[in-house]
Structure 1
């Protein structure tokens, strides 16, 4: 009886821990997305694909942002930016990203 009650309690605790971890990751990703979109220089900025999550020792995530250049001389051209998100400081940094450039 005690064993089955203990197993039940441990199972519930594991489920709660897993659920909060999933929710915490979802919250962190939403914070990253919001920070990257805010840091972007694009109009109609949006994320492309899933973020690259680096090890906690590095503390950064990377996300590709696409959108339309806001400057008039760019004539509504689309472009890409790479956003590096510092998970510890909750700050986003963007740089133009053109993988075809040499």
Structure 2
């Protein structure tokens, strides 16, 4: 048993147009997606600077400093902050905080990280 299928002139023209448009559309979407994620080195440096400053403040540590390079995620930046406890009863002990900077909201949250690398 065989099946035959024929396209009318209008359907053939439509199929040809779709065949020509789809690759062009796919290429355009690929370019648009790539440019949405691309940033200039200056923009990355600015984001890193904002994350560092916000995390140093959020830690509340005395003599706070950023340890290592920040880790960039899609909407957050992870920063390790080392410093000294400012409270007198903590006797200036060393502390390490993991800080998560929300790049969309511009806010930072820091929590003590007891499993910090040496």
TM-score (norm 2): 0.63
Q: Does 1:35 align with 2:50?
A: no
2:79 to 57, 63, 67: 63
1:92 to 89, 100, 108: 108
Aligned-pair CA distance for 1:28: 0.8
Aligned-pair CA distance for 1:52: 1.1
Q: State which structure, 1 or 2, has the greater radius of gyration over its C-alpha atoms.
A: 2
Q: Which one has a larger percent strand, Structure 1 or Structure 2?
A: 1
Structure 1 segments unaligned to the other structure (5+ residues) = 1-17
The number of residues matched between the two structures is: 79
Question: How many angstroms apart in 2 are the aligned matches of 1:53 and 1:64?
Answer: 12
Aligned-pair CA distance for 1:67: 0.2
Question: How many angstroms apart in 2 are the aligned matches of 1:69 and 1:85?
Answer: 21
Question: How many angstroms apart in 2 are the aligned matches of 1:76 and 1:40?
Answer: 15
Question: How many angstroms apart in 2 are the aligned matches of 1:27 and 1:41?
Answer: 22
Aligned-pair CA distance for 1:40: 1.2
Deviation digits for residues 28-59 of structure 1, max 9, x if unmatched?
A: 110111111111120010000001111x2xx1
Q: CA RMSD in A?
A: 1.5
Q: Which runs of 4+ in 1 moved over 4 A?
A: none
Structure 2 segments unaligned to the other structure (5+ residues) = 1-37
| Cross-structure match for 2:70 | 51
